[in-house]
Amino acid sequence: MKRPFLLALLLALFGALTACANPSVVTLNDGRQIQTLDTPEYIDDEDVYEYEQLDGKPGRVNKDQVRKIEEL
């Protein structure tokens, strides 16, 4: 009786966590595109966007280089 409940709970938690990730595409002024695992976060005092690359490594790009950011 405990196993079905535990399985349902784990599936619900996993679903909630995956809903938090918003893969995005950052289009730069020169036309290049960067795919990210999450929505880039703007760091105001540094004038940059920080994001997680597809390989899991952190990335940064200057605000002035960004044309647009779109969620996938």
pLDDT digits (tens, 9 = 90+) for 1-44: 567 777 776 666 665 555 456 899 999 999 999 999 999 999 99
Looking at the domain assignment, is residue 8 inside a domain? no
Number of domains within the chain: 1
Looking at the domain assignment, is residue 2 inside a domain? no
Looking at the domain assignment, is residue 1 inside a domain? no
Model pLDDT, residue 8: 72
Model pLDDT, residue 3: 74
CATH number for the domain spanning 54: value is 2.30.30.100
pLDDT at 60 over 80: yes
Strands 33-36 and 41-43: unpaired
Give the pTM: 0.69
Domain that holds residue 40: 22-71
Rounded to the nearest 5 degrees, what angle is found at the Cα of 48, between the Cα atoms of 42 and 27? 85
Question: Which letter does DSSP use for residue 53 in this model?
Answer: B
Looking at the domain assignment, is residue 9 inside a domain? no
Region 45-62: mean pLDDT is 95
Model pLDDT, residue 43: 95
Instruction: Tell me if 50 sits within 8 A of 69, measured CB to CB.
Output: no
